[in-house]
Amino acid sequence: MLTKYQTHIAGRWVDSASGEFFETDNPYTGKPWALIPRCAADDVDRAVRAAHQAFTSGEWPTLTASKRGALLRRLGDLVAEHSKFLAEIEVRDNGKLIAEMTPVTAYMAQWYHYYGGLADKIEGSVIPTDKPDTFNYTRYEPLGVVAAIVPWNSPLFLTTWKLAPALAAGNTIVIKPSEFTSASLLEFMKLVERAGIPPGVVNVVTGFGQEVGMPLVEHPLVAKVAFTGSDATGQRVYEAAARGLKRVSMELGGKSPNIVFDDAELDNAVKGVVSGIFAATGQTCVAGSRLLVQKSIHDQFVERLLALARTAKMGNPMDLDTQVGPITNRPQLEKVLKYIDIAKSEGATPLLGGRRASGAECGDGWFVEPTIFGGVRNTMRIAQEEVFGPVLSIIPFSDEDEALSLGNDVVYGLAAGVWTQSMRRALMMADRLQAGTVWVNTYRAVSYLSPFGGYKRSGIGRESGQEMLKEYLQVKSVWISTQSEVPNPFVQR
């Protein structure tokens, strides 16, 4: 029997208004395991109005910032306590490795602790203006209702990046998870209840983009949209939000270069390249899907890379020794296989993989073999477009200038990796690469302490770190006259 979920609106567990459900699949078995409420515009309206009411009246707006912070820290404690269970639900729903998800869900607690600690440190300032007998100060205030739209590849982690700062700033929120991966967020809402966060402050609407996502973005009571997903969908969301003059932050796609110079520690660089593209089955926005390798070491580096990549163990993501899991959903499986065919038709040479995996260890799941292409030109679609799967393109370069030219020659700018032992080269490349994150001699490192976001079509705004808290705040300037008499009212002061 399939597990049947309800969604969470105004502090209550409810079915969709229509009473309809849709199935969510286990990517390893290729079969449905749960039923998710199929919400629509009227459910969105209920959720947004509940969030708006919670923002304007009741307990939430009367809480001090310190008490808001205490609630967030309590939520963080609960996340840490239940991190293994949350990881297991997410693995079942999206196929990420239990070996990765268990530490990731535990690490999520740090965002709630961190922003819980920042909640009562949101401070304005007194401004020494040029106006005599006048007192001027600023204060930061919450925006109102935030619409958070999160993707299927890391639903809980990327929800955390939005939820923790939004609540720390005093906003309320309506979260729309991907229709492919809603279960873990619904389980997480039980922890939100236990943390004592007031009803209506956090709401969830589950369903499909046109039925739920767009009505949420377009709702007149939504003040800000926080979106993570593809750049194509992000553009549509941005256009819809612009019609309502809403605040927007977006973390979108990537086609990140992982650049290996001839002075790199080659074994470390090989591990970094494998981590960048085959970890999480390549289904990360920061995937290092373009390997730029200096010509002088090209052949020996590729040989070492292929040797390590061939050892990658596919299989059940619940097994601790599995290294490459399934693609999260069937449409994405078909997209990845299509890009592999496109690469072959463009003349790229498959050096490894290049097919759907069908071994016994893969069961009936949606697996693609770890795939590496040689003979790639940076103008090919496989080098320019986001595949979002375990597919790597190798592009040789001769010197630093060519590496920079190739690295920056895409519409994206989310991340980049640089492998070198030269401090001069590391600093120069970090300065000149057009990317929101540059890793040197490492890859895929993130922290609640450090801002994350993209250049160009990879996004707008930042997530994590102290500064991004202002993405969820607006500033007010307050003027107080200390004059005993108002001067000429027809003259601007």
| Paired sense of beta strands 145-149 and 222-228, if any | parallel
Q: Which of 179, 211, 218, 251 is catalytic?
A: 251
The active-site residue, picked from 285, 362, 369, 463, is 285
- Position 143: which residue type? L
Q: How far apart are CA 9 and CA 352, in angstroms?
A: 48
Tell me the three-class secondary structure of the chain, residue by residue. Answer: CCEECCEEECCEEECCCCCCEEEEEECCCCEEEEEEECCCHHHHHHHHHHHHHHHHCCCHHHCCHHHHHHHHHHHHHHHHHCHHHHHHHHHHHHCCCHHHHHHHHHHHHHHHHHHHHHHHHCCCCEECCCCCCEEEEEEEEECCEEEEECCCCCHHHHHHHHHHHHHHCCCEEEEECCCCCCHHHHHHHHHHHHHCCCCCCEEECCCCHHHHHHHHHHCCCEEEEEEECCHHHHHHHHHHHHHCCCEEEEECCCCCEEEECCCCCHHHHHHHHHHHHHHHHHCCCCCCCEEEEEHHHHHHHHHHHHHHHCCCCECCCCCCCCCECCCCCHHHHHHHHHHHHHHHHHCCEEEECCCECCCHHHCCCCCECCEEEECCCCCCHHHHCCCCCCEEEEEEECCHHHHHHHHHCCCEECEEEEECCCHHHHHHHHHHCCCCEEEECCCCCCCCCCCECCEECCEECCECCCHHHHHHEEEEEEEEECCCCCCCCCCCC
The contacts found for 244-248 with CB under 8 angstroms, 24 or more apart, are 244/218, 244/220, 246/217, 246/222, 247/143, 247/223, 247/471, 248/224, 248/460, 248/461
Predicted confidence (pLDDT) at residue 493 exceeds the cutoff of 80 = no
How far apart (Å, rounded) are the C-alpha atoms in residues 242 and 458?
Answer: 18
User: What pLDDT is stored for residue 377 in this prediction?
Assistant: 98
| Distance from C-alpha of 353 to C-alpha of 371, rounded to nearest angstrom | 4
CA 52 to chain CA centroid, Å, is 25
Q: Comparing C-alpha atoms, which of 187, 174, 201, 173 is closest to residue 71? A: 201
Q: What is the pLDDT of residue 104?
A: 97
| pLDDT tens-place string over residues 57-83 | 989 999 999 999 999 999 999 999 999
Q: Is 134 a residue whose pLDDT tops 80?
A: yes
**Predicted confidence band of residue 401 (pLDDT cuts 50, 70, 90):** very high
Instruction: Return the pLDDT at 488.
Output: 86
At residue 214 the predicted structure's pLDDT band, cuts being 50, 70 and 90, is very high
**Which of 440, 443, 8, 461 is closest to 194 using CA atoms?**
8
CA distance 227 to 225: 6
pLDDT tens per residue, range 314-353: 999 999 999 999 999 999 999 999 999 999 999 999 999 9
Confidence of residue 53 (pLDDT cuts 50, 70, 90): very high
Beta bridge partners of 228: 251
pLDDT over 90 at 467, yes or no: no
List CB contacts of 96: < 8 A, sequence separation 6 or more: 90, 153, 154, 280, 281, 317, 325, 328
By mean pLDDT, which of 128-132, 272-276, 389-393, 416-420 is the weakest?
128-132
**101 contact partners, CB below 8 Å, separation of at least 6:** 87, 90, 91
pLDDT digits (tens, 9 = 90+) for 349-371: 999 999 999 889 999 999 999 99
| Residue 251 bears catalytic tag | yes
pLDDT at 182: 98
pLDDT range class, residue 489, cuts 50, 70, 90: confident
Q: Please compute the mean of the pLDDT values over residues 43-47 and round it to a whole number.
A: 98
Would you place residue 487 in the very low, low, confident or very high pLDDT band (cuts 50, 70, 90)?
Answer: confident
pLDDT value, residue 89: 97
Q: What would the two tokens of residue 488 be?
A: 């000429």
Beta sheet of 202-204, edge-to-edge order: 12-14, 7-9, 202-204, 172-176, 145-149, 222-228, 247-251, 459-460
| Span 450-474, average pLDDT | 96
Residue pLDDT, tens place only, 290-302: 999 999 999 999 9
pLDDT digit string, tens, across residues 154-195: 999 999 999 999 999 999 999 999 999 999 999 999 999 999
pLDDT above 80 for 126 = yes
Given this model, what pLDDT does residue 491 score? 86
With 80 as the cut, is the pLDDT of residue 20 above it?
Answer: yes
State residue 384's pLDDT score: 98
Q: pTM of the full predicted structure? A: 0.96
State the average pLDDT for the chain.
97
